[in-house]
Structure 1
Amino acid sequence: MASWSPEENIVGQLATILSQAASPSRAARDQAKIAMEEASSHPDINNYLVYLLVTKEAQVPTNIRATAGLVLKNTLRNSIDRLGYVKEEIVKGLVDPDHMIRNVASIVVTSVLSLVKIGGWPEILGQLLQLIESSSIDAQEGAIYALARICEDSAAELDTDHTGRGDRPTNTLIPTLITVCSSQSPKIRGQAIFCLIQFIPLQSQAFLAHIDEFMQALFTLANDSDSKIRSNIARAFKALFEVRADKIIPHMDGVVSFCLHCIKDDDDEVALEGAEFILTMADSPLEPELVRHHLPNIIPVILSTMVYSDMDIMLLDSLDEDNENVADRAEDIKPVHIKQKEGHQAKSKRGGDEDDEDDEDNEDPEDILSTWNLRKCSAAALDTFAGKYATLVLQIAQPHLLERVNSSEWQIRESGVLAFGAIAQGCQVQGEAMFVPELVPFLIKMLSDEHAPIREMACWTLSRYVEPVCESQELFNPVFHGVLACSLDRNKKVQEAGCNALSVIAEYAGSMLLPYAKPLCYHFQQCFQKYQLRSMLTLYECIQSVVIAISPAMTDPEILEILMAPIVSRWQTHDDTDIELLPLLSCIAAVAANARESFAPYASVVFERSAKIVHQIFVMEERFKQDPVNCEAPELDFAVCGIDVVDGLVQGLQSKVVPLLNTCQNPSFMDLVMASLQCDMMEVRQSGYALIGDMAIYCVDELRPHLAKLVPEAISQIEVSEQIADAVCNNSMWALGELSLQVGRDLVPYFTDLFQRLGTVLMNQSAAYTLMENAAITIGRMGISMSAEIAPHLGIFIENWLMVMTDVEETNEKDTAFQGLCIVIGSNPGALSGQEQLGRLLRSFAYYYTPSPDLKKLISEVINGYRAHVSNFDEVLKLLGQDIVYQLQSEYGI
């Protein structure tokens, strides 16, 4: 390949095409694009492009050379088997005097390696290290830029033995990089640290062998004047602290002091990296005394950085605060994320290089303000510290907070409001929120502040104190009405904050909102008239929370009509592919579920369109699978929301939904349901199984003819794996549990596979706890009708079952599960071997405080049975403790 040489006329033609590609003339650019596509088919295109990039003698301007390299990056994968010349020549670009050429060449090196891997180009690492150790600063910089990208993309591969002789690249690379940390060039020092950071999470043998040397290098450079180096040092301390805290703790005073100094740095990146370390420290399981020692220094610093920066204030000043009539940009509302149903829970059914940085010159001010930054990181750290050390945090922060909320400068007051919100959860949990009665009136006043950011932040902070607010009618009324006023604010951000706060209030207040049901629905009418689309998306979620809280009132046709009038109007303005239809469908699903039979006047139209949307999506999905080149992939979220609407109708209309379901023909409704259970998208299956469970409760006869297909499909989703989402597994188990209550022994043919899968989840200590809970509940519920089948296995699963179920919130699911367990025990009482297992069972009965009459009767029978037949029953009671024995005596008379 080294004998290859270019044809000068082709070089000239290609240079001309690349020059035209950068022309200000659109016609020239379009012509160049067509010409480049034709040139890309030339077998030696990669060779010509790399020749243009690295050969100064080609007499091509630097910008054209750089363009050739960037085009080369994109054409490499078209001829992976013909990269020999590129690999030989590209190193020349790394030593070019021009920084731009070196940088582009490093990008090409990384791109080649992404295709051929280290094993396909092993010599490149030696070449890069040779350049790094050379006397040329240009060569060192070019090589370290390339190496930084390689380490970032392929750290694990660099720590792999490619020869079979135990010779990992990191064995040479890491000590060399540590040496390079003392380079005279700040760029090279900074990049060397960046490279080494990539190996910290791997904790490889090569890195650990030199970790002390690396830390010494970091300490030596801690006072470096280069901001990039200080930023990378803080990042390195954070990464080390996450995986090897034992190496940081002996130097904790110095590291914390360095990071706090970074937080005060004028460079935003340095400051954020310092704050990230403090946030990591707050999250860590350090000894409390070690953290407390540093809090007097940390808290004032992070409080000082929670104020909007000068740049933030300039951006805010550039925005029109009274922007309610300003149309949202398309990027403000995309993508729309639907609010997914969680997996059914036991407690309820619903259950770096500077050249790589993005160019932010053209970013919208609101986009910049919404990104993760120092202010938000500091607030998160304060929140976390307050959650663990509320008393000390409040003691340190209080004088600073009082000073801030009384400041004459609005941005200082706003930071105080933010800080009070950050400490809210921790102070309430640890009983340190005695200041709430004085704070809330101040926050209510802030809801009408002249500055929109303060009104917005006051809404959020009040939502963080919603629990004590809802416990005091004196506080609740002004907060509630103040939040409502903000949701009709003249500023769109404040509107959203008001809606979000109202959602939180609704979740906590519940039936307290019933007297306000009609005014709330009228209020939502005003919101519909006022809101732009972005605020409308927040409104849809708010309505869902509120209708749950005022559910009894939603059955009033008058109140329902007030709410549904604007919803129907909105529903009629969108076609079936409009993205806004997604949250609107979710909103309608919640209204339907809570309005019960009162929703009947709207049910037919809603069902017909929802079923049509689901069918259309599945047809498009099938076409896409058959012809992905010519067919567009459908937006499967429409299927999720359509199924959720039908589920809401099932919950609301209950058995009266059956005639509606039967109107669905070609395909039938059950064909759509089965299609949802077999969809590749997990969220579709998740909603499908939620629908199956609700149908089992309210209209099980519609499912009976389909058990042979439905049950095996549901069983296949009971698995703890990356292939099956936890929420899908949870909902399938819950649905099968509901089915077992309704169809009883019709599930016996599927018992072996079903029980085996449920048992595997229950006995898997690494499974998510909600999975274990739902597995235990379903096993228990199956025991009601299949006790004979379950009883022989009782001794195997009883300990795990009791461990999981004892602390589960008392719901109908738990009640029926315990009923089933009692029946199973009655079929095989000898399965509980010894005092310890019997003691656990009795303890679980004692901790069940509000059993249903049926369950209480069954528990009594089990206890009396063991008392009559276990000779050492009294000894078992003595082991339980007086409180538990007293509870059993008072409830069951033992």
Structure 2
Amino acid sequence: MEWQPEPQGLNELLNLLRDAIRPNNRDQALVHERLASFNEIPEYNSYLVHVLVTMTEEDNYTRAIAGLTLKNNLLNNFNRTPLTVLDHVKHISLRSLNSPDLDLTVRKTIGSVITAIVVRGQVINWPQALRVLVETLDSSNPLAVEMALDTLQKICEDNAKDLNEATLDNDNTPVLDFIIPRLIPFNSNPNSRLRVLAISATNHFVQLKSASILTNMTAYLESLFLIATDENTEVRQEVCRSFVMLLDNFTESLLPYLDQLIEYMIFCNQSQNTKVALEACDFWHQFSRLDSIHSHLVPFLPKVIPVILNSLIYTEEDLLMFGGGDEQEDLHPRFNSRFRSSRHHRQYESSDEDNDEEDDQEDDEFFSEWTLRKFSATSLEALTSTFKSQVTDILLPLLNHALFSQDWRVVESGILALGAAAEGGIDEISPHLPDMIPFLITNLSNTNAHVRYITCWTVSRFSGWIVGQCGNSEHGRTQFYEPVLRQLLKRILDRSRRVQEAACSAFSTLEEQATEQELVPYLPVILNHLTRALRLYRNKNLRLLYDTIGTLAESVGSSLNEPACIAVLMPPLISRWNGLQDTDSDLFPLLGCLTDIATSLGIGFLPFTEPVFTRCVMLVSTTLQSTVADDDYDDFDELDDEFIVVPLDLLSGIVQGLGNTVEPFVKQSTLLPLLAACAHYDSRYEVLQPTYALIGDLAKACFGALDPYLENIMPELIRQLENDDPAYKSVRNNAIWAIGEISIRWPKEKMEVYVEQILGSLIPLIHPQSQSIELQENAVNTIGRLGINTPEIAAHFLPHFNRAWLYRSRVMRENDEKDSAFQGFCKIVRLYPHALNEVAIRMLLDTIGQWQNPSEALKLLFEQVTSGYRGLLTEAQWNQVAPYLMNNNNNAPAVQ
């Protein structure tokens, strides 16, 4: 006998479901809480499926809410659902296909329930569902067919990988060999809704390169070509999407049709329906990635490039996003990351959504969604990078026409196209830049904000060339570099928020390309404009401005440490600092900016150190204390990383800048106990990375203050040496480096306890199978440095690492760390010279001979090692290795 609900319980549930859909019900939270409590009733899901499927007299919205609740219950509590209840839900859901409900929402909701069971329970555990759904495709009831196909599409979307691997019954026939042939005929069904569902379902397996697609490829391609010009735009959109996926995943199968397909995509790319055009435009981007078929596209480029160029022009719909095509000036700055440099700038999340609500309404198309303009610009960039002059030879004459159009939209699209082509076609475009850059400089002052905005970005794409003109001639400096610099600074103070953001990002890119030589002469005027912007900007654009100032500090370095510069720059920054609460996330980008400034100013930051240092320590302390005090605290899992990470980064900048002058601030604070606490939380790599970096910085700057805490910290550093989790890569690097800094300063009797364990972990890292160059170089330096104070212990390991160590060290640039590492290595070699065979001795002498600027201590050790081998080797042996020492510069030690 089939299960029946208990009337009282059913009525109580129905009342709750009715309350849940009342828009003016003020007790929604209580309603949902009571609904959630029903999960304690074993047969709750049976009640829900009863309301959804069988209670046809009930309001359809109430039934749909019951179904959505059932779906979520199955997804979230599948393994806790009693098998008898699950079987009942399966039975009732599938039975509904025999007489599908008249309401579309109810039908879709039942399909979602079936999908949830297949996803959580896997196809193999409910093969009947697929069999019934596919068989229902042959039903004479159109509602049943649509419901079955819609459900299949959902299952394909949510469970494609499982379906692709599943087999039918016991004969190992792939499930898709049963499904795909039944879907393909629907590509030409009279009902456009069914055509869309069938293509969409199949596309999920094209992405997986399913063997079943390949088996049915001929029939599938024929069905797509039959509807290639379908009158329904949604169908054409799916057809274009399918062809793009097929090109990417089944390239060989499309080769016979490529010319026909290219012509079709050119046609679709010009569609008045932007969604169809957008899908077609992606075809060119995918094509550029496939080296083997590039030659097929070359004859069509004269057709493709003008179509893409035309797609860059703002449509009326685009302009409605900004309130029309007229100039919309606004004194309030705004921010997005459209133009931010990918290799330097930090990203910060905003928490002031309420304050920026009006700003967000103007978010440009590059961030709100993938528009046709963005796809077109991306495709043009990809094609230029791939085909170089074959594209630029077509593009540049077209741009010459566009850039001098009377329509500002055409001019703007031409400037965008020039910027999109910049990276991939710089060599081809460079000869034309002496004419183009003055044009761009002029348009940085265009009366239209859209044009100024995109010109800032395009100018940034040629920053390398512009900066390079400074070194070529005085003419290059005055005609190109200085006018760009001047105009970008003006645009930073533009009345349009969108232009401000573009100018800040463009100027940051210019700063990254430039050196002190190009920036320092202009520091007064740069700082004047940036600090004026500091007083003008607010909210999101202000964060971008902080990045621009930080990039400047990083680029000019110690040249910023001039009284005049400090007097202009620091007061507005400190004013902002004082105006922010400790809980305000706007503090993070300011802290990041001050990190770069503190590092650059060095001792010049001393007057600002006390309040900044104290507040950073307090932020870390408060965050740790509040986390530990939290009842839900569990091994830092709920830690708000940024309130620790960003202050620690700034403290590192201060320590690096001030050197040993920082020691009083460290001793008077609770920083070191906090670092010891942070070092123990290995579940938070975000915290460990800056913690270990700061430990290393403190070891260099004020080792005496750090010393009492090292016995607690060192085991944690060593534990990370063998952590090969990719997420912990920077943590591992910083731990290796910090150990190296500690090893050259810690007394022998304290350090020797750890040396064997450290070497055991580091030696494997310098062998060829280790892939990270940075990791290898840090390991090389630390291994060598262990020989400074503990050479006796390290000497026992010398046979296991000497050749790999010498091989890796040869390509490392000379600096203080490499110098000290070689000092330690030489001390080890003096104790155990026989560990080096003839090949290793040659490598060592060759390195000694080529060293350009060894320290006095290293020079002495080089002489001792060289003399040692001269006395140890026979005359014949010495004559074999000596030439490696003598093919050198004048810094090689003299050997009698």
Q: Which amino acid in the other structure matches residue 608 of structure 1? A: T
Aligned to 2:659: 654
Aligned mates of 1:574, 1:4 — CA distance in 2: 63
Q: Is the 8 A contact 1:677 1:689 kept in 2?
A: no
Aligned to 1:699: 702
Aligned to 2:70: 72
Q: Is the 8 A contact 2:851 2:891 kept in 1?
A: no
Which stretches in structure 1 are left out of the alignment for 5+ residues? 343-361, 879-883
Q: Which amino acid in the other structure matches residue 137 of structure 2? A: I
Shift of 1:141: 2.2
CA gap 1:798/1:457 in 2 versus in 1, 3 angstroms: farther
Aligned to 1:461: 458
Q: Is the 8 A contact 2:335 2:544 kept in 1?
A: no
Aligned mates of 2:146, 2:850 — CA distance in 1: 68
Q: Is the 8 A contact 2:10 2:47 kept in 1?
A: yes
Aligned to 2:276: 270
Aligned to 2:420: 422
- Does 1:495 pair with 2:500? yes
Aligned mates of 1:382, 1:10 — CA distance in 2: 63
- Does 1:385 pair with 2:383? yes
Aligned to 2:620: 614
Number of aligned residue pairs: 859
Q: Is the 8 A contact 2:592 2:646 kept in 1?
A: yes
Q: Pairwise mapping of residues 356-375 of structure 1 onto structure 2 (< 5 A)?
A: 364-366=361-363, 368=365, 370=367, 371-375=369-373
Aligned to 1:190: 196
Aligned to 1:597: 603
Select the residue among 663, 667, 677 that pairs with 2:668: 663
Select the residue among 703, 717, 720 that pairs with 1:717: 720
Query: What TM-score results when the alignment is normalised by the length of structure 2?
Result: 0.84
- Does 1:404 pair with 2:402? yes
CA gap 1:632/1:696 in 2 versus in 1, 3 angstroms: closer
Q: Is the 8 A contact 1:325 1:532 kept in 2?
A: no
- Does 1:112 pair with 2:117? yes
Q: Deviations over 1:296-316 (max 9, x none)?
A: 443333222222233112222
Shift of 1:784: 5.4
Aligned mates of 2:828, 2:387 — CA distance in 1: 47
CA gap 1:783/1:216 in 2 versus in 1, 3 angstroms: farther
Shift of 1:238: 3.8
Per mean C-alpha deviation after superposition, the further-off stretch among 822-831 and 754-763 is 822-831
CA gap 1:389/1:742 in 2 versus in 1, 3 angstroms: farther
- Does 1:508 pair with 2:507? no
Shift of 1:470: 1.5
Aligned mates of 1:877, 1:218 — CA distance in 2: 74
Q: Which amino acid in the other structure matches residue 123 of structure 1? A: Q
Shift of 1:73: 2.5
Aligned mates of 1:30, 1:436 — CA distance in 2: 63
Q: Pairwise mapping of residues 147-226 of structure 1 onto structure 2 (< 5 A)?
A: 147-160=152-165, 166=172, 168-178=174-184, 180-203=186-209, 205-210=211-216, 214-215=220-221, 217-226=223-232
Q: Is the 8 A contact 1:21 1:29 kept in 2?
A: yes
Once the two structures are aligned, what percentage of the paired residues are identical? 29
Aligned mates of 1:220, 1:7 — CA distance in 2: 54
Matched position secondary structure for 1:635: coil
Aligned mates of 2:324, 2:630 — CA distance in 1: 46
- Does 1:282 pair with 2:288? yes
CA gap 1:447/1:199 in 2 versus in 1, 3 angstroms: same
Aligned mates of 2:195, 2:803 — CA distance in 1: 58
Q: Is the 8 A contact 2:787 2:825 kept in 1?
A: yes
Aligned mates of 1:829, 1:165 — CA distance in 2: 69
Shift of 1:688: 1.1
Q: Deviations over 1:622-654 (max 9, x none)?
A: 23475579x994422110011112111101211
Aligned to 1:581: 587
Aligned mates of 2:187, 2:798 — CA distance in 1: 63
Aligned to 1:448: 445
Aligned to 1:543: 549
Matched position secondary structure for 2:423: helix
Q: Pairwise mapping of residues 681-830 of structure 1 onto structure 2 (< 5 A)?
A: 681-719=684-722, 721-722=724-725, 724-743=727-746, 747-763=751-767, 765=769, 767-782=771-786, 811-813=815-817
Per mean C-alpha deviation after superposition, the further-off stretch among 177-186 and 655-664 is 177-186
Select the residue among 228, 237, 244 that pairs with 2:234: 228
Shift of 1:390: 2.7
Q: Which amino acid in the other structure matches residue 160 of structure 2? A: A
Q: Is the 8 A contact 1:53 1:93 kept in 2?
A: no
Per mean C-alpha deviation after superposition, the further-off stretch among 463-472 and 556-565 is 556-565
Of the two structures, which has the highest relative contact order with CA contacts closer than 8 Å and spacing of 6 or more?
1
Aligned mates of 2:301, 2:865 — CA distance in 1: 55
Aligned to 2:353: none
- Does 1:639 pair with 2:644? yes
Aligned mates of 2:65, 2:703 — CA distance in 1: 66
Q: Deviations over 1:637-678 (max 9, x none)?
A: 11001111211110121111111111124xx52333441552
Q: Which amino acid in the other structure matches residue 274 of structure 2? A: D
Per mean C-alpha deviation after superposition, the further-off stretch among 464-473 and 782-791 is 782-791
Q: Which amino acid in the other structure matches residue 67 of structure 1? A: I
Aligned to 2:105: 100
- Does 1:476 pair with 2:475? no
Aligned mates of 2:176, 2:252 — CA distance in 1: 23
CA gap 1:327/1:433 in 2 versus in 1, 3 angstroms: closer
Q: Deviations over 1:509-535 (max 9, x none)?
A: 231222333333332331122112111
Which stretches in structure 2 are left out of the alignment for 5+ residues? 349-358, 471-476
Aligned mates of 1:221, 1:819 — CA distance in 2: 75
Aligned mates of 2:808, 2:254 — CA distance in 1: 38
Aligned mates of 1:255, 1:720 — CA distance in 2: 50
Matched position secondary structure for 2:63: helix
CA gap 1:219/1:815 in 2 versus in 1, 3 angstroms: farther
Select the residue among 289, 303, 314 that pairs with 2:309: 303
Q: Which amino acid in the other structure matches residue 115 of structure 2? A: T
CA gap 1:15/1:602 in 2 versus in 1, 3 angstroms: same
Matched position secondary structure for 2:515: helix
Aligned mates of 1:695, 1:178 — CA distance in 2: 67
CA gap 1:457/1:784 in 2 versus in 1, 3 angstroms: farther
Q: Which amino acid in the other structure matches residue 586 of structure 2? A: E
Aligned mates of 2:539, 2:650 — CA distance in 1: 21
Q: Is the 8 A contact 2:237 2:276 kept in 1?
A: yes
Q: Pairwise mapping of residues 115-134 of structure 1 onto structure 2 (< 5 A)?
A: 115-134=120-139
CA gap 1:40/1:312 in 2 versus in 1, 3 angstroms: same
Q: Deviations over 1:144-193 (max 9, x none)?
A: 22222222222222244588874653443344444554544433333333
Aligned to 1:359: none
CA gap 1:330/1:803 in 2 versus in 1, 3 angstroms: closer
CA gap 1:589/1:330 in 2 versus in 1, 3 angstroms: closer
Aligned mates of 1:797, 1:247 — CA distance in 2: 52
Aligned mates of 2:510, 2:280 — CA distance in 1: 35
Aligned mates of 1:329, 1:92 — CA distance in 2: 54
Shift of 1:795: 6.8
Per mean C-alpha deviation after superposition, the further-off stretch among 685-694 and 281-290 is 281-290
